[in-house]
A and B are shown apart, each in its own frame.
Chain A
Amino acid sequence: MSMGMVYALVGAAVAVLFAGMGSSIGVGTAGQAASGVVSQDPGKFGKVLIMQLLPGTQGIYGLLVGFITLSKIGLLGGGAADLSPETGLMILAACLPVGLVGLVSGIHQGKTSAAAIGIIAKKPEQFGKAMLFPAMVETYAILSLLISILAVSAIQV
């Protein structure tokens, strides 16, 4: 197995690892707030559950990039590609945006979600607006996802 392959695999791991960590922390933070609300008013379960899930997308974006990377380097369909170390490093670099931005935005989206759950607790009819604040944070995860996808698929293997 070539060194290039190792770098590329590290890239896929970085994407999945950090984005997943960000989402775990975010969903966890939001979940604590959600539990508090449901303990008072179980009727709001549906609404706060949606709020809790919002920071979960970073993990999915990480998975997405990880998967595209794995299929790109041929680890999934058998017949692994022969990568030069340079190409491997390029793939690693391409995976960085979604991993790192996913980590940070996941954490902060979780905090925003927790605050938005506070809105739901007091003014459940403002659901539409409450949902917007966490969605703003997610924009940056989406932008990083975009660059990661474009970069990974642009690299010639």
Chain B
Amino acid sequence: MAVLKMQRISLCGLNRDRKAILERLQELGMVEINFRKKDIIKGLKKQDTTDQKNDFEKRAQKADQALEILNRYAPEKTSLLDSLAGKPLIEREKYRETVGRQDEYLDAVNKILELEKQISESRSEAAKYQNQIEMLQPWMSLDVPMDITGTRQTRVLLGTITGQAAEEHIRTVLKEQKQPIENVLVQTIAVDKDQTCLAVICMKKDCEAVEDVLRGLGFTKPSIQTSRIPQEEEKCLYDEIRMCEERQEAYRNEIIDLADLRADIKLISDYYRMMAGRYEVLGQLPQTKNTFALSGYVPERVAEAIRQEIMEKYTADVRIEELDEKENAPVLLKNNKFSESVEGVVASFGLPKKGEFDPTLIMSFFYVFFFGLMLSDAAYGAIISIGCAFALLKFPRMDAGLRKSIKMFFWCGLSTVFWGVMFGGYFGDVVTVVGRTFFGKEITVDALWFIPLNDPMKMLMFSLLFGLIHLFTGLALKGYMMLKDKDIVGFISDVVSWFLFLIGLILILLPTSLFYSISQMEFDFGPGLQMAAKVMAVVGAVIILVMSGRRKKKKIGIRLALGVYDLYNITGWLSDVLSYSRLLALGLATGVIAQVVNQMGSMVGKSVFGVIFFIVVFIVGHILNMGINVLGAYVHTNRLQFVEFFGKFYEGGGKPFEPFMAKTKYVDIQEEK
């Protein structure tokens, strides 16, 4: 339960060991490279490794593209669950061997990319032919080649004119010329809604005049030229397209043949990624001709082991020192098996900043407790727990972060089972409904504690009580932190004062008739305790009034005003406590919607169809209800932790520990023994 203590590791080694040392550090993944300002010595050069880094990144990217293409033509069998499986572990031997033959695989990658390029070229070629076929369509009834010029005496002009019924029009226009042109044959090849395709045949001597007239009418040459007659041309084009398709098919098969190399390509892709990472670090290291230096953060518990290993294996000097007081060390959390499951939740709020302690342990109990209370249906809880347990057992190599989240839901599921039993919720009231509808018997499932829907007031009181405990724990933790910092004045004036004030107020409130009328609970404290309660409240209030403005020691008036303002915070406490009423609301929501589902299912009544209908409604309805309420419980549990609980003592804002490690995408590589 803690933030791991960080130390500084400083390493000075020979350049001939550089590669090996960096490789080992990357494999260990336990050192965050970081240079203090004072460590930077003038005159030492850094190697410019940008080119190598970019080169490796580019190669990794190419391999990724090739994998994507492979997946398109030879899809890997995947299921939804595969995303849980995590990266496969590759043996060191296999890794060495594959990396040794990387050129081979890089060739395969390039070949795949080349083939894909050819496929897309061939595709656009086919599209071009297709386009030509379409342009050819109007000319299909032409039975001479399209590049025909004429005979010995005549000229043939092919072309299109916009508009319809142009044939007549052209003839008329030709006749109406100053010198009427005779002996012109105008023939319509095809008419569609935009244009008319024409063949015009005239005597060679009239050719120019005819062309002039036609041009004036907007006659343009056909957009497609060919030396064949259109029908033949169409056939040829179709042949071309078929050939393109055959070629594509061949390329595709070639790619599919390369699919066997998928695993190896994944491996070298990750190898390039790791190399890029190594060169990135190398670029940060100061070097002389024969030596290099490295500095960074390392968790205390592994520091000594790393130091010894490097010193033994290589000619290098490694030192471990404590961090400077002011240094803002990166944060790595370490908790017990149960609590570490909520580390992700803490991290999503913010890791502990410098000097703060890790709230994970204490939060984990409340988290699981509240989640179960909000979902509170034993059957739902069992489904979640069994599902998560199955995933955890089936996929031992699951990604660490995901593993923690699934573990968290496993525990939350167990807590849900517990609260479900306490409140008598098993798929809502399904036992009662089935008994009544299909067997004609009244079966009631007793709650171990009580049924919240029948006594919402009682549930509300307990929700607020749980909330109060949660909030007081938060305040106590604030006190603990202040004591740790030896801030006794702060502890008394910011923590003890509030405890006195709040507990006093609560003790005053409990025996009143007002409280009785709300909760139907009677408390009788006797005069001694009542007096004590009043004293506590007053003492607490006075401390707050006098002390909360202590940091601004200007005038007594301002200080008191600040105190009054701080006392006003009591409304903040009130709203914080009331916020826990969501425990009741969400718990009821699960139960009531489950009841609605059961009731809807039983509407058809006792018959074969009724049973089938019930089963369908039951499955769909409960899946929906479970989904939405798990989401609700998750969101609002987080909110109670983040806003109400953390609001009392925790700020967060630490920067996460980002060690120099193998950031692989597809595989994990077995560590060297």
Residues of A bordering B, CB below 8 Å: 50, 53-54, 56-57, 60-61, 63-64, 67-68, 76, 125-129, 131-132, 135-136, 138-139, 142-143, 145-146, 149-150, 153
Contact = CB atoms under 8 A, between A and B. Distances in A.
Interface in B619-659: 628, 631-632, 635-636, 638-639, 642-643
Nearest to A98: B585
Contacts of A135: 635-636, 638-639
B335 interface: no
Given A129-B349, A142-B582, A153-B456, A64 B599 contact: no
B384 interface: no
> Is the contact region of chain A dominated by helix, strand, or loop, or is it mixed?
helix
12 contacts: A50-B635, A57-B628, A61-B585, A63-B596, A67-B595, A126-B348, A127-B348, A128-B347, A128-B638, A143-B578, A146-B581, A150-B460
Interface stretch (B114-122, B150-158, B586-594): B586-594
Nearest to A57: B632
Given A61-B589, A67-B596, A149-B588, A139 B582 contact: yes
Given A143-B581, A146-B460, A60 B349 contact: no
A132 B599 contact: no
Contacts of B453: 68
B345 interface: yes
Contacts of A136: 639, 643
B294 interface: no
Contacts, number: 72
A53 B582 CA distance: 17
Given A139-B582, A143-B581, A64 B639 contact: no
Contact of A139 (B579, B586, B589, B628): B579
Contacts of B349: 128-129
Given A67-B596, A153-B456, A53 B628 contact: yes
A132 B642 contact: yes
Contacts of B457: 150
Contacts of B593: 60, 63-64
Given A129-B348, A131-B635, A132-B639, A150 B589 contact: no
A90 B357 CA distance: 52
A142 B648 CA distance: 22
A139 B45 CA distance: 58
B113 interface: no
A138 B639 CA distance: 11
Contact of B638 (A60, A67, A132, A139): A132
Contacts of A139: 579, 582
B584 interface: yes
A149 B456 contact: yes
Contacts of B592: 63-64, 67-68
B375 to A, nearest CB: 14
Contacts of B642: 128, 132
A2 B630 CA distance: 41
Given A129-B348, A142-B581, A150-B457, A50 B631 contact: yes
A134 B631 CA distance: 13
A131 B631 CA distance: 11
Counting from the closest, the 7 A-B pairs by CB-CB distance are A128-B348, A135-B639, A142-B582, A64-B592, A142-B585, A146-B581, A145-B585
Nearest to B345: A128
A60 B348 contact: no
A50 B631 CA distance: 7
Contacts of A60: 589, 593, 628
B629 to A, nearest CB: 9
Contact of A54 (B345, B586, B635, B643): B635
Q: Which of B457, B584, B599, B635 has the most chain A CB atoms inside 10 A of its CB? A: B635
Contacts of B582: 139, 142
Contacts of A61: 585, 589
Give the most central of A57, A127, A150: most B CB within 10 Å.
A57
Contacts of A149: 456, 585, 588
Contacts of A76: 599
Nearest to B641: A128
B652 to A, nearest CB: 10
Interface string B565-585: 000000000000011011011
Nearest to A150: B456
A150 B459 CA distance: 11
Contacts of A145: 585
A25 B564 CA distance: 42
B597 to A, nearest CB: 11
A147 to B, nearest CB: 10
A67 B588 CA distance: 11
A56 B588 contact: no
